[in-house]
Amino acid sequence: MSTQPGSSGCYLPDHGDDSFDVTRYSLGLAYKPLGNRLDGDAVLSCVALTDTQAVTLDLAGLRVAKVWLDSVPARYTHRGHRLRIPAALSAGQEFEVRVKYAGSPGVLKARDLDDAGWEELTDGVIVAAQPHGAPTWFPCNDRPSNKATYAITMAAPKDYYVAMCGQLVDQRQRGSVIEWTWEMPHPMAPYLATVQIGRYERRDLGLGVVVVAPPDLIGEGYDASFGQQPAMMEFFESVFGPYPFDDYTVVVTDDPLEIPLESQSLSTFGRNFATSDWDGVRLVAHELAHQWFGNAVTLREWRDIWLHEGFACYAEWLWSEESGRESATWWAEHHHGVLATLDQDLLLADPGPALMFDDRVYKRGALTLHALRQVVGDHDFFDILQSWVERYAGGNATTADFEALTAEISGESHDDLFGAWLRTPELPDLPA
């Protein structure tokens, strides 16, 4: 089997290797802000899925110093962001790859997509990896269908806070640096792993919600947006089911950011999102909803991005109604009217890499869910959403899986509805 394209499919044909899975990443990292220097020692526990003569990892913009295969020094080639290691493996065979590397990390460019990955702030770092930026800071099998557990230790100067996905299990000072060790015990796709470094303080808001932000971030805008997250959490649990991770962290950078950044159990915003304006509040709700739809249940291939963005967008409308603003029906009718004026050239079930983050994917995806709700009724609709998370949490799913679950719970096929909304470019009418 080829070790080139993985389950990223044609959207990211040069990422991932479907001949093996990584089951656990153990990363030892050290970062120096002065000079943007990252040193890494990564141990990947793996299992071969097919007979193969080589495995290929993704690692971009960093220099490989040495590679080991099952503790034995191994030959390798590193061209572009593809690190190829000859290895005669049989299907089902477990093996371990260790990579020592270093350099000045940065973003990774890809055709038809915005740059993604490691970015320097005015004073600190963010990692915005969706969909292809994970290889900018650690060697990985960069396909969303390869979810693994993680243990990451990051050493950074002691006056910086280091936030990562999962739970903080150890923190110890060694001279002028602090080593932060975070563990993510729930399976996570590489693009959902992140590290955020800055001069922050930690605030516990209750219900497992934590804000990591500059000390001076306070006031009415903060209270109206980030301060509402415990209420959002309580509401989303009532309609989507229990929160799928151990806690939820929101990092607010001192720098303004154009858009929020999604990762597993952690979201990142610029301080410009501390506002009572609906455009700020809705995105706080949007990123929280991704913990159920995108992070717990992750697409298998990027063509199914509506399963993430459409669901999180619909959660915005649900929160609007719950918080006393416009109803979900109002938002559906409003955005249906807007989409009707735009080009009718988008296939929601397969938008293509150039359009996978087009706003029409978000809004038409949400409209698809609203249309389904209108047809099956609230009882079955929310049963479908909760069952979706319960059945597929920790794994990957497809549009076909969602259609099958809908038929199972509602007791009838909805091929016509899904065909019109997902596989026809023209915008359908909303059901009465």
Whether 431 maps to a domain, the answer reads no
Q: For residue 412, what is the domain's CATH number?
A: 1.10.390.10
Count of the separate structural domains present in the chain: 3
What is the Cα–Cα distance from 420 to 427, expressed in whole angstroms? 8
Output the six-digit token pair for 136. Answer: 């900018």
Q: Do residues 48 and 89 both lie within one domain? A: yes
Question: At a CB cut-off of 8 Å and minimum separation 6, what does 324 contact?
Answer: none
pLDDT of residue 112: 85
pLDDT of residue 5: 34
What are the pLDDT digits (tens) for 93-131?
999 999 999 999 999 998 889 999 999 999 999 999 999
CA angle 381, 387, 393 (to 5 degrees): 135
Full domain range(s) for residue 416? 299-422
What is the Cα–Cα distance from 405 to 399, expressed in whole angstroms? 10
Grouping H, G, I as helix, E, B as strand and the rest as coil, residue 428 is coil
Domain boundary, last residue among 196, 224, 246: 196
pLDDT of residue 9: 52
What H or E segment, with its residue span, contains residue 334? helix 328-339
Q: Do residues 149 and 164 both lie within one domain? A: yes
Q: For residue 241, what is the domain's CATH number?
A: 3.30.2010.30
Q: Which residues of the chain have pLDDT under 70?
A: 1-9
What is the Cα–Cα distance from 51 to 43, expressed in whole angstroms? 22
Q: Do residues 81 and 63 both lie within one domain? A: yes
Whether 34 maps to a domain, the answer reads yes
Q: Do residues 158 and 283 both lie within one domain? A: no
CA angle 230, 193, 300 (to 5 degrees): 95
Cis, bond preceding 131 (omega within 30 deg of 0)? yes
Domain boundary, last residue among 291, 318, 339: 291
CB 348 within 8 A of CB 378: no
Whether 104 maps to a domain, the answer reads yes
Whole-number Cα distances in Å, 84 to 18, 79, 93 = 13, 8, 18
Whether 128 maps to a domain, the answer reads yes
- Write the DSSP string, 46-76: EEESS-EEEEEEE--SSEEEEEEETTEE---
Whether 427 maps to a domain, the answer reads no
Whether 432 maps to a domain, the answer reads no
Q: What global pTM score does this model have?
A: 0.96
Q: Do residues 184 and 209 both lie within one domain? A: no
pLDDT of residue 10: 81
Whether 429 maps to a domain, the answer reads no
pLDDT of residue 55: 98
What is the Cα–Cα distance from 68 to 100, expressed in whole angstroms? 9
Q: Do residues 415 and 308 both lie within one domain? A: yes
